Amino acid sequence: MEEESAKLHLSVDCTVFGFDGNRLQVLLIRRIGEFGGLEFHDMKLPGDLVRGVEELDDTARRVLAELTGLRNIPLVQFHAFGSADRTRNPKDVHWVEYAHQAHVKRIVTIAYFALVKIGKSIIHDMEGTEAVWIPVDELPSLAFDHDKIIAVALDYLRTFASMDPSILYDLLPRKFTVTQLRNLYEVVFGSKLDPANFYKKMTQMPYLTALDEYEQGVSHRAARFYRFDKNKYNKSRL
Amino acid sequence: MEEESAKLHLSVDCTVFGFDGNRLQVLLIRRIGEFGGLEFHDMKLPGDLVRGVEELDDTARRVLAELTGLRNIPLVQFHAFGSADRTRNPKDVHWVEYAHQAHVKRIVTIAYFALVKIGKSIIHDMEGTEAVWIPVDELPSLAFDHDKIIAVALDYLRTFASMDPSILYDLLPRKFTVTQLRNLYEVVFGSKLDPANFYKKMTQMPYLTALDEYEQGVSHRAARFYRFDKNKYNKSRL
DNA sequence: GATTGTTATTGTATTCAATACAATTTGAAT
DNA sequence: ATTCAAATTGTATTGAATACAATAACAATC
């Protein structure tokens, strides 16, 4: 039993979503090149092993900063993935053993969740890896069980957003139109919404402030820009 | 780094709630006696280390069966607790090392959540431990960070129940009165509800079937018993 | 046996949010 | 000037949530 646990490892993976005005995207790490004698050309979630006495939340922050350059992003733990056959693919095991000089048998990972404005700048070039946005409906095959993790994260996003829709504003740019907001709702919840009713409902909200700016260069009536006011939102929830 | 991870252990703890018609209760393991030279007289959540290649969900089921006798209870993972200072108390470490003959430095635990009808029979006597129901508002001091785990579980219960109140019927006996149901809502959500409105709202529901049985021996008008019909409930959600 | 206290159950009215859908406005392209 | 598409405004209907008064029923007490 001691032998078994000696090969037990703990990692953290971050599932970061963005929204381009049209589709949901996930932030993935592409690895290309030769590592320890094997050729890699695939994608994975940003993640790493937890260090000695490092707190899980700290690992998540570190991983995201190191691999994508994103800092000060609220990260929330949402699920642990511990199936023994996560390490079914020898290539995934090789990758970890190469990076950490450790014999790896089983890796339990704690998955974290975050939402960011897709405009934030991302690190693109590292030694052999780069961070890229990929639409969730066009995912390639991924390392480990990262496809499952993303599926659970999407579910978590829907659940979370249905309880507190204000998190959706983390996905939008600072200035946005009501139509962009509606598109986001439709993408996240997978349903069509009546534009007129949605418009009235939203512009009534005390925490949406209308700006004196309008869309440019659209071949129809230009939409007004709005801004989300977090302070007013928090006050409106008492 | 290898040395560190050799002392990393993974466990599962189960947070099981019950309802006595009046208050929420948690199922705890009381440990009394001398184990490996130390006197114990305290309480903890039912939990254990994960074995070699055991799936997390399986560990949760096993732990619950072994320590409380409960079987076939739906268990849902809700959070991982991994702070390095979970093992701050030497007594807790001693307990694990005594039971598993392993040197323990850090234990990351995956916490599971379950709701059961409090009438279910529980194992009461084991070697040195017994399972007991304790009201959540009268918790004694607990091993590890189990008080925190219970707090997060309570939060999860509220969140979960507000999205899908049907889980609350897992806490009630097969036959219950509308008032018992209302008490449960009030305890879980921490607010008072209008008895008349609550009554109408609930008895309208197609999935609550009125029985031909009434309360006995109460010094006021006897309430009717109802039963929750899971099939009708599922159909009513299309 | 009538009265009282307590909770269950029924009745009624009001307010507010959600939804449907028609009508109007406006910027750019033709 | 006309047309197109989407933004914005208007109006009406429905149904759920809430307040609160009124009635029913059981056991204990007078």
CATH assignment of the domain containing B33? 3.90.79.10
Largest CA distance in chain B: 69
CA of residue A217 to C1' of nucleotide D2, angstroms: 20
Measured from the Cβ of residue A132, the count of other Cβ atoms closer than 10 Å reads 15
On whether any CB of chain B is under 8 Å from the CB of A159, the answer is: yes
Q: Is residue A57 part of a domain?
A: yes
**Are A124 and A229 in the same domain?**
no
Mapped onto helix, strand or coil, the DSSP state of residue B85 is helix
* B168 within domain boundaries: no
Q: Are residues B126 and B30 in the same domain?
A: yes
Kindly state whether residues B108 and B224 are assigned to the same domain: no
What is the amino acid identity at position B206? P
Residues A7 and A93 in one domain: yes
Predicted confidence at residue B100, as pLDDT, reads: 87
Whether B91 and B184 map to the same domain: the answer is no
Nucleotides of D under 7 A from a protein CB: 4-10, 17-22, 24-28
Do B68 and B106 fall within a single domain? yes
Last residue of a domain, one of A140, A163, A186: A163
Q: Which helix (H) or strand (E) holds B61?
A: helix B56-68
Q: How many CB atoms lie within 10 A of CB A214?
A: 12
Contact A53 B106 (CB under 8 A): yes
Give B 20-49 residues with CB within 8 A of chain A.
49
pLDDT-derived band at B121 (thresholds 50, 70, 90) equals confident
Residue A153, in any domain of the structure: yes
Strand pairing report for B8-19 and B106-115: parallel
- Among A5, A9, A56, beta carbon nearest to B102: A5
pLDDT in the model for residue A5:
39
> Are B128 and B202 in the same domain?
no
Is the pLDDT confidence value at B1 over 80? Answer: no
- In whole angstroms, give the CA distance from residue A59 to residue A14: 10
- Strand C close to B198 by CB, under 7 A: no
- Predicted local distance difference test score (pLDDT) of residue B52: 86
B20 plus B70 within the same structural domain: yes
Same domain, A114 and A231: no
Domain, as residue range, for A20: 2-163
Cβ–Cβ gap B102/A1 under 8 Å: yes
For residue B103, what pLDDT band results from cuts at 50, 70 and 90? Answer: confident
Backbone angles phi, psi at A157, to 5 degrees: -55, -45
Which of B130, B163, B196 terminates a domain? The answer is B163
Residues of chain A scoring pLDDT < 70: 1-6
Measured between CB atoms, which of B52, B77, B110 is closest to A4?
B52
A73 touches chain B (CB under 8 A): no
Q: Measure the CA–CA gap between A18 and A33, rounded to whole angstroms.
A: 27
Q: Which of A163, A185, A211 is the last residue of a domain?
A: A163
Do residues A105 and A182 both lie within one domain? no
Nearest in space to A61 (alpha carbons), one of A71, A49, A52, A53: A71
| A181 and A153 within one domain | no
Give the count of domains, chain B: 2
CB of A162 less than 8 A from some CB of B: yes
Average pLDDT, chain B: 92
CATH of the domain at B179: 1.10.10.10
A234 touches chain B (CB under 8 A): no
> Do B145 and B223 share a domain, yes or no?
no
